[in-house]
Chain A
């Protein structure tokens, strides 16, 4: 494997990690919103 291919694989890995992290982040945020909504709805009751 030459240097460029290794670089390319590294880049791809980084991209995949970024996607995974961003997705997780969003899922956490979505979960947090859902929790807040649930808490609100509980209070209004």
Chain B
């Protein structure tokens, strides 16, 4: 980061054809003027140009000023911000002229461009989830004490901050250097590694799926010496399947015949069984009759002796033998049937196995020609090798993430937090001495002074802390925090002694390493050592026409440059869209 030094502010009223140029030098700058002379409006204009919306701006001032131009140096480079209503332009000086970096009515577009100029990256999230870089009102909020509420609340002069999530704690930590650019850089690196790790994990997952899907087939393929072997095997398998199907057919035929036999034998058995019962009755009947029987039709006399009755009984015995034989036949047929059924099932499952082998062989032939002929096999092989490479890349990302996390943890350590707090407290202590505040009042939370006092102690605590933070940052490094603007309070009813001690303490802030702009009604006593003193005497007439022509000419030349930029930018976007 570089030192940010304000060079000059020009405000233009085109409606009144008047303007004002306020130059700023290094060290102390004093804007001296009574009530309603415009000093606070000038001071607020600095921040308005930067995009910080001050809570109270004179309505007249807002109405007549059509353009604000703030010139500043950042390191060795010179820049200019022009603001007209909601339109922002940033220009950079190239040694001969200003060239436009951006013209936009989008505050965040402007803000992001300014942060690029300042090389600041502090990601912020709005309460509705939008992401953007830190904005000027967040960045500069500790560098202004406004004349209204600025003396009762710390760093709360701008209205366009509340939509940003955790705006207070995050900027407190950033401005104090606790969670600075390097912290956000580490976070960004960590996020990049996480994104890349997740991408690689997806790639690995995809490759693993691809490889595992094909591995089983390919491992079988590797066993094949040549396609002809598979073809021959396939032909044998088809022949075997055909033979087995024929056997199954003959088994099926035998089963049908057997089924028929069983049915016939069962019918016979039924008939014989019926006959036996009838014969049994005949025997019983014959035994009950006389020795001779006469046919009622032809009158023939039949002997009904023991011999005849035994003859019927032998029929009964024959029937029983027949029944036994038939039962045995059926049992044997059933037994054979069971055997055939088993044979049938076995051969069916054998056929199924052979058919599966046929299918596998056919698939092998298809895969074989697919992979070997279309180069897919090579893809599979390279994919398999790639798995190790991807895994190593993932491991590398995981290792990097853990290393970054270690560094983040180190940055966020309580030891470091304590050291920073003590350093700020040291500067607070110096300021407290200068403005007669007890050091016991110094209490920091989140690196910011707690305002828990009333009366005249409140403004002094605010002044002590913001001035101490300015000195702390000045001591720490060159940064955009190296300018500081104090607008002394509306001084009616102010404690004169306190004000005098505040003025006296300004000596502490007057180093030419930084830049302090003080707006005051009364002389501070440091006017002789100040780099610039601007005195305003006329009420509501701080604008004049002395340099208006020069200012409007500068403004118009900047506008021409901006128009050219808009034209070129539009053309470029069109070309990009076509491409």
**Could you tell me the distance between the alpha carbons of A14 and B300 in the complex, rounded to whole angstroms?**
10
B315-A26 in contact (CB<8A): no
B311-A12 in contact (CB<8A): yes
Q: Among the listed stretches B247-255, B279-287, B417-425, which one makes contact with chain A, having 4 or more residues with CB under 8 Å of it? A: B279-287
How many residues of chain B have a CB within 8 Å of chain A? 17
Task: Name the distance in Å between A35's Cβ and chain B's nearest Cβ.
Answer: 20
**Chain B residues with Cβ under 8 A from A11's Cβ?**
302
Total inter-chain residue pairs, C-beta < 8 Å: 36
A11, A12, A19: residue with the most chain B Cβ atoms closer than 10 Å = A19
How many residues of chain A have a CB within 8 Å of chain B? 12
**Chain B residues with Cβ under 8 A from A22's Cβ?**
285, 289, 293, 296
Counting CB contacts under 8 A, is A18 at the interface?
yes
A18-B295 in contact (CB<8A): yes
| A19 CB contact (under 8 Å) in B296, B300, B312 | B312
Give B256-282 as 1s and 0s: 1 = Cβ < 8 Å from A's Cβ atoms.
Answer: 000000000000000000000010011
- Asked whether A19 and B293 contact (CB < 8 A) given A14-B302, A26-B285, the answer is yes
| Closest partner residue, chain B, to A23 (CB atom) | B285
A20-B282 in contact (CB<8A): yes
**Chain A residues with Cβ under 8 A from B295's Cβ?**
18
**Chain B residues with Cβ under 8 A from A12's Cβ?**
308, 311
Give A5-27 as 1s and 0s: 1 = Cβ < 8 Å from B's Cβ atoms.
Answer: 00000011011101110110110
- Asked whether A18 and B285 contact (CB < 8 A) given A12-B308, A12-B311, the answer is no
Task: Name the distance in Å between A15's Cβ and chain B's nearest Cβ.
Answer: 5
A19-B315 in contact (CB<8A): no
A15-B308 in contact (CB<8A): yes
**Chain A residues with Cβ under 8 A from B296's Cβ?**
22, 25
Task: Name the distance in Å between B543's Cβ and chain A's nearest Cβ.
Answer: 139
**Could you tell me the distance between the alpha carbons of A18 and B311 in the complex, rounded to whole angstroms?**
14
A18-B293 in contact (CB<8A): yes
- Asked whether A23 and B282 contact (CB < 8 A) given A12-B308, A16-B312, the answer is yes
Interface SS, A side:
helix
**Could you tell me the distance between the alpha carbons of A3 and B447 in the complex, rounded to whole angstroms?**
143
Task: Name the distance in Å between A22's Cβ and chain B's nearest Cβ.
Answer: 7
**Could you tell me the distance between the alpha carbons of A5 and B296 in the complex, rounded to whole angstroms?**
26
A23-B281 in contact (CB<8A): yes
**Could you tell me the distance between the alpha carbons of A12 and B200 in the complex, rounded to whole angstroms?**
105
Task: Name the distance in Å between B234's Cβ and chain A's nearest Cβ.
Answer: 69
- Asked whether A18 and B282 contact (CB < 8 A) given A12-B308, A12-B311, the answer is no
A19-B285 in contact (CB<8A): yes
Task: Name the distance in Å between B12's Cβ and chain A's nearest Cβ.
Answer: 135
A11, A15, A16, A20: residue with the most chain B Cβ atoms closer than 10 Å = A15
Give B197-234 as 1s and 0s: 1 = Cβ < 8 Å from A's Cβ atoms.
Answer: 00000000000000000000000000000000000000
Task: Name the distance in Å between B190's Cβ and chain A's nearest Cβ.
Answer: 108
B278-A20 in contact (CB<8A): yes
**Could you tell me the distance between the alpha carbons of A14 and B301 in the complex, rounded to whole angstroms?**
11
**Could you tell me the distance between the alpha carbons of A16 and B308 in the complex, rounded to whole angstroms?**
9
| B315 CB contact (under 8 Å) in A14, A16, A18, A25 | A16
| Closest partner residue, chain B, to A26 (CB atom) | B285
* Residues of B46-78 whose CB lies within 8 A of A: none
Task: Name the distance in Å between A2's Cβ and chain B's nearest Cβ.
Answer: 19
**Could you tell me the distance between the alpha carbons of A18 and B295 in the complex, rounded to whole angstroms?**
7
| Closest partner residue, chain B, to A8 (CB atom) | B311
**Chain A residues with Cβ under 8 A from B312's Cβ?**
16, 19
| Closest partner residue, chain B, to A20 (CB atom) | B282
Give B281-324 as 1s and 0s: 1 = Cβ < 8 Å from A's Cβ atoms.
Answer: 11001100100010110001011100010011001000000000
**Could you tell me the distance between the alpha carbons of A24 and B16 in the complex, rounded to whole angstroms?**
146
Task: Name the distance in Å between A45's Cβ and chain B's nearest Cβ.
Answer: 33
**Could you tell me the distance between the alpha carbons of A12 and B311 in the complex, rounded to whole angstroms?**
8
B282-A16 in contact (CB<8A): yes
Task: Name the distance in Å between B314's Cβ and chain A's nearest Cβ.
Answer: 10
B311-A19 in contact (CB<8A): no
| A15 CB contact (under 8 Å) in B278, B281, B285, B302 | B302
| Closest partner residue, chain A, to B283 (CB atom) | A19
**Chain B residues with Cβ under 8 A from A25's Cβ?**
296
**Chain A residues with Cβ under 8 A from B282's Cβ?**
16, 19-20, 23
**Could you tell me the distance between the alpha carbons of A26 and B284 in the complex, rounded to whole angstroms?**
13
| Closest partner residue, chain B, to A17 (CB atom) | B295
**Could you tell me the distance between the alpha carbons of A12 and B285 in the complex, rounded to whole angstroms?**
16
Task: Name the distance in Å between B31's Cβ and chain A's nearest Cβ.
Answer: 139
Task: Name the distance in Å between B215's Cβ and chain A's nearest Cβ.
Answer: 84
**Could you tell me the distance between the alpha carbons of A19 and B315 in the complex, rounded to whole angstroms?**
14
**Chain B residues with Cβ under 8 A from A26's Cβ?**
285
**Chain A residues with Cβ under 8 A from B308's Cβ?**
12, 15
Task: Name the distance in Å between A43's Cβ and chain B's nearest Cβ.
Answer: 32
**Could you tell me the distance between the alpha carbons of A15 and B304 in the complex, rounded to whole angstroms?**
8
22 pairs from A and B in contact (CB 8 Å cutoff):
A12-B308, A12-B311, A15-B302, A15-B303, A15-B304, A15-B311, A16-B282, A16-B311, A18-B293, A18-B295, A19-B282, A19-B286, A19-B293, A19-B304, A19-B312, A20-B282, A22-B289, A22-B296, A23-B281, A23-B282, A25-B296, A26-B285
Question: Known pairs A16-B282, A20-B278, A25-B296. 5 more at Cβ < 8 A?
Answer: A15-B308, A18-B293, A18-B295, A22-B285, A23-B281
**Which 3 A-B pairs rank lowest in CB-CB distance, beginning with the nearest?**
A23-B285, A15-B302, A19-B282
